[in-house]
């Protein structure tokens, strides 16, 4: 598509994709999931999934964006036509837009907590505070819809501002300032953790692999986390890929994104657990690890308020560079499809996600129990939305893998990837079989009745079915 926007530099896609990938998933979710699931074993599964499933799907998703040079929904529509596949594949775009919208709604609320803690830290409010005071403080934040809504509004408005200014003046310039600063802060916090904490304990916790530590639930979470952390299956990477230079290598870039993303998670984990062990605290605190355990560790350390404040700025920046990638795919679609201006499109997406986010806000207080979500799904609205995205993202990833591996004309895919035939064959094997099998495994495990030997059986059935459907869709008529 001539005249379509392209990033200013060959390497900007890498910057943008790393910005999207590195976020609350690395700094907040990864450490607490690792802490809850016994450390090293969890990391092993996580790393394997990133390598065998994450990277191949990352390559596929970027490729879909770059060959179509359109926003995810319009791009999928375009590809179904040019590759003469079924229109049904367009659902990849719609599913992605729905996930982006849902994730943004709760992502912004949680990033808002980091805003609160940046403030508390930098004003020195928590210096010398004891465990009770700090956990009461966190509970008080959760109990206040007013406070949470205020932070949620501030955060999402900031993200909207950046995307509203366009991909060059807004997203690119923003990332060019934010990302290097984030890496510097991360290193500073790590050094601080090494000096003041117990890095030996942290390292042995993170890197001692004892597969027996891992429950099946942990397996699932490790695989789900690898999708979430790479921003896969919901159009963010596809939207950014649409602006990627044709000269940049898809495979090398994807490997670099996965590598940096994983490294950030490990360094953050190392820094956080050094501080947690150094202060003699518990690792398995769940979501409160960052907002209760960590502030408590900082409370008694030299320059804790300052370094703690800087740490929460890191969290905020990382969250911001991810939330803009959640707005972009939907905003770009609205611009392309309805000829809106960018500010109009961003406003529509953000106002809708903001309103949806209020459901997350009240899930921690006034709607914490007894709502329709509890009676229908046995969980709060927030937990339900999170569950939906945990299903949508792997599902989107599965469909992307099938579409790229089976439905697209493979000679053209090979041209677009531009790698050595051996690498191409490896990639294709991974997206055709390994990715779909892994995702099916995750889904099947969520059905409690399916036990033991049934899993491999059903898994292979699904692969065969996927093959058949892929072939059929490939040859069905374009409408």
Among 118, 322, 360, 440, binds ligand PHE (CB under 6 A): 322
Q: Do 432 and 135 touch, CB atoms closer than 8 A?
A: no
370 Cβ partners below 8 Å, 6+ apart? none
Nearer CB in complex with ligand PHE: 234/404: 234
**Alpha-helix residue ranges (DSSP H) falling in 166-303:** 173-196, 199-207, 216-229, 236-241, 250-278, 288, 294-299
Give the binding range for ligand PHE (CB under 6 A) out of 187-195, 229-237, 358-366, 426-434: 229-237
Q: Is position 325 an interface residue for ligand PHE (rule: CB under 6 A)?
A: yes
Give the binding range for ligand PHE (CB under 6 A) out of 228-236, 245-253, 291-299, 471-479: 228-236
Among 19, 25, 65, 112, binds ligand PHE (CB under 6 A): 25
CB of 97 to ligand PHE, least distance (A): 12
Q: Is position 321 an interface residue for ligand PHE (rule: CB under 6 A)?
A: no
- Secondary structure class of 371 (helix, strand, coil): coil
CB of 104 to ligand PHE, least distance (A): 8
Nearer CB in complex with ligand PHE: 23/278: 23
Give the binding range for ligand PHE (CB under 6 A) out of 226-234, 375-383, 408-416, 442-450: 226-234
Q: Which residue is nearest to ligand PHE (CB)?
A: 25
Number of C-beta neighbours around residue 331 at 10 A:
27
Residue 439: name the closest of 232, 213, 264, 255 by CA: 232
Q: Is position 228 an interface residue for ligand PHE (rule: CB under 6 A)?
A: yes
Q: Is position 31 an interface residue for ligand PHE (rule: CB under 6 A)?
A: no
Among 108, 196, 226, 229, binds ligand PHE (CB under 6 A): 229
List the structure tokens of 381: 């609205």
What values do phi and psi take at 285, rounded to 5? Answer: -85, 0
Q: Do 70 and 464 touch, CB atoms closer than 8 A?
A: no
List the structure tokens of 45: 């599964």
Query: By CB under 6 A, what part of segment 137-196 binds ligand PHE?
Result: none
Q: Do 456 and 434 touch, CB atoms closer than 8 A?
A: no
CB of 389 to ligand PHE, least distance (A): 8
Nearer CB in complex with ligand PHE: 278/329: 329
Query: By CB under 6 A, what part of segment 230-289 binds ligand PHE?
Result: 231, 234, 236
Q: Do 21 and 361 touch, CB atoms closer than 8 A?
A: no
Q: Is position 226 an interface residue for ligand PHE (rule: CB under 6 A)?
A: no
Task: Let me know if 451 is exposed, middle or buried by CB neighbors in 10 A (0-12, 13-18, 19+).
Answer: exposed
Nearer CB in complex with ligand PHE: 21/167: 21
CB of 228 to ligand PHE, least distance (A): 5
Q: Do 293 and 139 touch, CB atoms closer than 8 A?
A: no
281 Cβ partners below 8 Å, 6+ apart? 293, 296, 297
How many residues lie near ligand PHE (CB under 6 A)?
Answer: 15
Half-sphere exposure of residue 235: CA atoms within 13 angstroms, side-chain side: 34
Q: Is position 326 an interface residue for ligand PHE (rule: CB under 6 A)?
A: yes
Query: By CB under 6 A, what part of segment 73-132 binds ligand PHE?
Result: 103
First to last CA, the chain: 21
**What are the residues binding ligand PHE (CB under 6 A)?**
20-21, 23-26, 103, 228-229, 231, 234, 236, 322, 325-326
């Amino acid at each position: 598509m001539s005249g379509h926007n392209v990033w200013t530099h060959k390497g900007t896609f890498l910057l943008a994709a790393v910005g999207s990938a590195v976020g609350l998933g690395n700094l907040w979710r990864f450490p607490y999931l690792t802490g809850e699931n016994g450390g090293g074993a969890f990391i092993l599964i996580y790393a394997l999934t990133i390598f065998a499933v994450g990277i191949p799907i990352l390559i596929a998703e970027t490729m879909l964006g770059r060959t179509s040079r359109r926003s995810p929904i319009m791009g999928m529509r375009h590809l179904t036509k040019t590759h003469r596949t079924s229109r049904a594949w367009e659902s990849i775009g719609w599913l992605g837009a729905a996930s982006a919208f849902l994730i943004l709604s709760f992502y912004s609320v949680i990033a808002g907590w980091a805003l609160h803690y940046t403030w508390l830290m930098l004003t020195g409010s928590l210096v010398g505070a004891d465990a009770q005071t700090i956990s009461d403080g966190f509970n008080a934040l959760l109990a206040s819809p007013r406070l949470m809504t205020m932070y949620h509004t501030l955060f999402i408005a900031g993200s909207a501002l950046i995307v509203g200014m366009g991909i060059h003046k807004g997203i690119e310039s923003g990332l060019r300032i934010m990302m290097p600063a984030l890496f510097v802060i991360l290193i500073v916090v790590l050094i601080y953790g090494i000096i003041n904490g117990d890095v030996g304990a942290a390292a042995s916790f993170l890197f001692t692999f004892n597969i027996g530590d891992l429950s099946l639930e942990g397996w699932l979470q490790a695989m789900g986390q690898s999708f979430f952390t790479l921003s896969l299956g919901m159009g963010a990477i596809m939207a950014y890929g649409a602006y990627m230079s044709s000269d940049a290598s898809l495979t090398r870039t994807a490997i670099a994104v996965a590598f940096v993303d994983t490294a950030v998670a490990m360094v953050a984990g190392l820094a956080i657990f050094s501080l947690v062990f150094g202060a003699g605290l518990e690792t398995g605190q769940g979501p409160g690890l960052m907002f209760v355990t960590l502030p408590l560790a900082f409370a008694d350390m030299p320059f804790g308020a300052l370094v703690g404040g800087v740490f929460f700025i890191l969290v905020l920046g990382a969250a911001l560079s991810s939330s803009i990638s959640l707005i972009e795919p939907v905003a770009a679609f609205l611009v392309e499809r309805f000829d809106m201006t960018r500010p109009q499109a961003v406003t529509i997406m953000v106002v809708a996600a903001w309103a949806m986010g209020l459901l997350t806000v009240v899930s921690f207080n006034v709607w914490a129990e007894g709502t329709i979500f509890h009676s229908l799904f046995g969980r709060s609205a927030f937990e339900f939305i999170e569950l939906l995205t945990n299903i949508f993202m792997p599902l989107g990833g599965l469909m992307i893998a099938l579409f790229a591996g089976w439905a697209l004309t493979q000679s053209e895919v090979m041209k677009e990837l531009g790698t050595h035939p051996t690498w191409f064959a490896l990639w294709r094997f991974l997206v055709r079989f390994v990715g779909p099998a892994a995702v099916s495994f995750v889904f099947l495990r969520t059905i409690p009745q399916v036990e033991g030997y049934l899993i491999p059986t059903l898994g292979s059935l699904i692969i065969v079915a996927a093959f058949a459907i892929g072939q059929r869709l490939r040859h069905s008529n374009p409408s």
